Amino acid sequence: MNTQPLLLDSLNARWERYNLELKNCRDEFSEEAVHDFRVAARRLLASLDLLRTVIRGAKIKKMRRILKNQLDNLDELRDAQVMLAEISENVHDLPLLQSFEKYLLRREKKLMRAARREIKSLKIRELAKWIQKLEEAIGESQLDGLDPFPAVDEAYARVTQRYEKVDPAQPVTIHRLRIAFKKFRYMVESIHPALEGFPQDYLKRMHDYQTLMGEIQDMEVALQELAEFEKTAPEGYDPEPVRAYYKEGHSLAISRYLEDRGEVMTFWRVAPDQSFPKENQL
Q: What range defines the domain where residue 72 resides?
A: 1-147
Q: Summarize pLDDT for 213-254 with one digit per residue, the tens.
A: 999 999 999 999 999 999 988 888 888 999 999 999 999 999
Q: What is the pLDDT of residue 211?
A: 96
| Same domain flag for 233 and 213 | yes
> What's the CATH code of the domain at 125?
1.40.20.10
Each residue of 195-209: pLDDT tens digit? Answer: 777 887 889 999 999
pLDDT in tens, 11-27: 899 999 999 999 999 99
> Is residue 133 located within the same domain as residue 154?
no
Phi, psi of 170 (to 5 degrees): -130, 85
- Mind listing the pLDDT tens digit for each residue in 75-85? 999 999 999 99
Residue 60 has pLDDT above 90, yes or no: no
The chain-wide mean pLDDT, for the chain, equals: 89
In sequence order, which residues have a C-beta less than 8 Å from that of residue 51 and are 6 or more positions away?
A: 7, 11, 58, 60, 134, 138
Q: Are 132 and 203 contained in the same domain?
A: no
Q: What is the pTM of this model?
A: 0.85
- For 57: left if phi > 0, alpha if psi spans -120 to 50, otherwise beta; the answer is left
Given 118, 147, 176, the domain boundary residue is: 147
pLDDT at residue 56, rounded to an integer: 67
- Number of domains into which the chain is organized: 2
Q: Does residue 130 sit in the same domain as residue 157?
A: no
For residues 39 and 36, what is the distance between their CA atoms, to the nearest angstrom? 5
Q: How far apart are CA 240 and CA 226, in angstroms?
A: 10
Q: Which of 147, 175, 196 delimits the end of a domain? A: 147
- According to the model, what pLDDT value does residue 100 have? 94
pLDDT at residue 27 in the model: 95
CATH of the domain at 209: 1.20.120
pLDDT at 280: 44
**Does residue 282 have a pLDDT over 50?**
no
Same domain for 274 and 204, yes or no, is: yes
Tell me, yes or no, whether 84 and 158 share the same domain.
Answer: no
- Please say if the pLDDT value at position 146 is more than 70: no
